[in-house]
Amino acid sequence: GQQVMQIPQYQHVQEGEDFTTYCNSSTTLSNIQWYKQRPGGHPVFLIQLVKSGEVKKQKRLTFQFGEAKKNSSLHITATQTTDVGTYFCAGPDSGGYQKVTFGTGTKLQVIP
C-alpha cells in the first residue's frame, strides 16, 4: 500500500534557528496536506498543495511540493517556542474519496 515517510522523526532546535521537515511518498500524489499537532492536542490543518513545484508561504512557514509530486517539505524560518509540536504531511489514499494517508510526523522541540 501507499507509504508516506517523514524525516527527521525528531528535531531539537534553538529558538531562532531554522527547521525543515521532509515528506516522501512511495507513489505520485495529486495533492499534499500539512497538519500541525500541538502537545496534548489534535491535528490542525495548515495548508494543501496541488501543483507540481508549488511553493506557498504562511508567515515564517514555507511549503513546497516537489516537481515529481512525490515529495514535499515544510521549512520554518527563525523558530519560536509557539512552533513546538508535531508536523504531519498527508497524501490522498489510493482508495479514493476523502481518504488520506498520514506521514509518520516530525516532532519539533524548540529550546528557548
Partner 1 sequence: NAGVTQTPKFQVLKTGQSMTLQCAQDMNHEYMSWYRQDPGMGLRLIHYSVGAGITDQGEVPNGYNVSRSTTEDFPLRLLSAAPSQTSVYFCASSPAGQGVHEQYFGPGTRLTVT
SS3 state at 81? helix
Under 8 Å between Cβ of 70 and 64: no
CB-nearer residue toward partner 1: 100 or 110 = 100
- Shortest Å, Cβ 39 to partner 1: 12
Inter-residue contact 23 to 72 (CB < 8 Å): yes
Q: List the interface residues with partner 1, window 12-31 (CB under 8 A).
A: 30-31
- Cα 51 versus chain centre, distance: 16
User: Any contact of residue 92 with partner 1 (CB under 8 A)?
Assistant: yes
Question: Which 3 state secondary structure label does DSSP give 97?
Answer: coil
Residue 58: strand pairing partners: 61
- Considering only residues 29 to 68 of the shown chain, the ones binding partner 1 according to CB under 8 A are 30-31, 33, 35, 41-45, 48
The residues of the shown chain that bind partner 1, judged by CB under 8 A, are: 1, 9, 30-31, 33, 35, 41-45, 48, 88, 90, 92-93, 97-105
